[in-house]
A and B are shown apart, each in its own frame.
Chain A
């Protein structure tokens, strides 16, 4: 037990740096994923057929293949065309991956808004795009917050998979330490504790946002 706390303390600075990398990977990839998800969801709900086909293809492929395959594919595959740093390869892979799930969240929330809302907006002379922006999206985005929070937490934990393309974040740092010290159990426990702490922070922030939305309408 003493050795556990010693290890925890001695590696603390390195892990803080790794945690910062995990947060950057997660944060940047989720912002990109929100943009991707919203664009694809809007493509799907226009009802234009070929846009729907693109949507189905994207969501189908991403949900149908493991994230680790997507990361490897992007990192090793795309380098034939453009040279991406490991950070950007990882971030883009995570963004494309989360983007598919977030697109599904947005699509579901947009379609869950009562049909009468669009009819009322159109009956007032609003064009569909204006009605979407002013009437449908504000209601849909509010409904999207709880499932998005869930997706953010998944995204944070999924960022551990970029360890396999050589980014020093929490999980890869644990692997390195475990390999050098042969204290596998301790270092993977330490990794778990860091993730737990970060998820707790994210959960807290999300619950604040949800409360705020409830009172602010």
Chain B
């Protein structure tokens, strides 16, 4: 589904990603964890080209994506993204947020997009909120709308960039519930998060990044109970 080979990324002199190899299989849920500054968000953002790699290869659905020759908007249609700060469009209602890309990018007839949009809002538990503006929603509700908005493009993979980090603690659960049900439906997901409970329960594989490299990866049970890398041990002792 996604394959990354020897990915390097620099911000000026700062070497953020130092040769990352990663493969994500269809229907797999990969959770990336690591200390802040370890490069996990940057890696995620490279996957839909919001950050441009400096070296290495990125393959989506078996095809290498070269930003110079591939229209990135076409690639991004298949790669949904959920942001830490939701980034809902404040001048559109919840439903308009959800149908915006299907109508204007995929050119789906508006009526059809609305019907599908309402189903998606129903699915994230916000069937009654279609006509309100995002500012009227709680953080948890906003993030669920953002998930519905990304799903509306029927992506083959969903990227989550710390989706619960900006939420009040009592609102984290409702977002994680939606993500769990997505995983249960077989969605391919790459999730950057600090929610270790979610990683343990939902992930097929945990990837631990340290200093721009994958220091350790494995199934969550083994990783959490018996981490091998000293940095992983240190990290887990601090967050668990």
List residues of chain B with CB within 8 A of the CB of A135. Answer: 89, 100
Give CA–CA (A119, B41) in the complex, Å: 14
- Does A64 lie at the interface of the complex (its beta carbon under 8 Å from any beta carbon of B)? no
Interface size grouping (class) on chain A: 10 to 19
List residues of chain A with CB within 8 A of the CB of B90. Answer: 139
Residue of chain B at shortest CB distance from A127: B73
Is A125 within 8 A of B91, CB to CB? no
Please report which residues of chain A, range 105-146, place their CB below 8 angstroms from some CB of chain B when the two chains form the complex: 114, 116-117, 119-127, 130, 134-135, 138-139, 142
Is B87 within 8 A of A126, CB to CB? no
Which residue numbers of A lie inside 8 Å of B, CB to CB?
A: 114, 116-117, 119-127, 130, 134-135, 138-139, 142, 217
List residues of chain A with CB within 8 A of the CB of B133. Answer: 217
Give CA–CA (A162, B150) in the complex, Å: 55
Residue of chain A at shortest CB distance from B45: A119
Is A125 within 8 A of B101, CB to CB? yes
List residues of chain A with CB within 8 A of the CB of B87. Answer: 114, 116-117, 119-120
Give CA–CA (A124, B113) in the complex, Å: 15
The answer to whether residues A123 and B150 also contact, given A116-B83, A139-B91, A217-B133 and a CB cut-off of 8 A, is yes
Is B105 within 8 A of A124, CB to CB? yes
Against A, the Cβ 8 Å flags (1 = close, 0 = not) of B49-82 are 0100000000000000000000011101101110
Residue of chain A at shortest CB distance from B90: A139
Q: Would you give the shortest CB distance from B65 to chain A, in whole angstroms?
A: 14
Q: Would you give the shortest CB distance from A116 to chain B, in whole angstroms?
A: 4
A interface: dominant SS: helix
Is B104 within 8 A of A120, CB to CB? no
9 A-B residue pairs with CB within 8 Å: A117-B89, A119-B81, A122-B73, A123-B50, A124-B149, A125-B105, A126-B73, A126-B101, A138-B91
The answer to whether residues A123 and B85 also contact, given A217-B91, A217-B133 and a CB cut-off of 8 A, is no
Is B76 within 8 A of A120, CB to CB? no
Give CA–CA (A135, B134) in the complex, Å: 14
User: Which of the residues B74, B89, B91 comes within 8 Å of A120, measured between beta carbons?
Assistant: B89
Give CA–CA (A121, B76) in the complex, Å: 10
Most buried by A among B73, B88, B106, B133: B73
User: Which of the residues B50, B83, B85, B153 comes within 8 Å of A125, measured between beta carbons?
Assistant: B153
Give CA–CA (A119, B106) in the complex, Å: 18
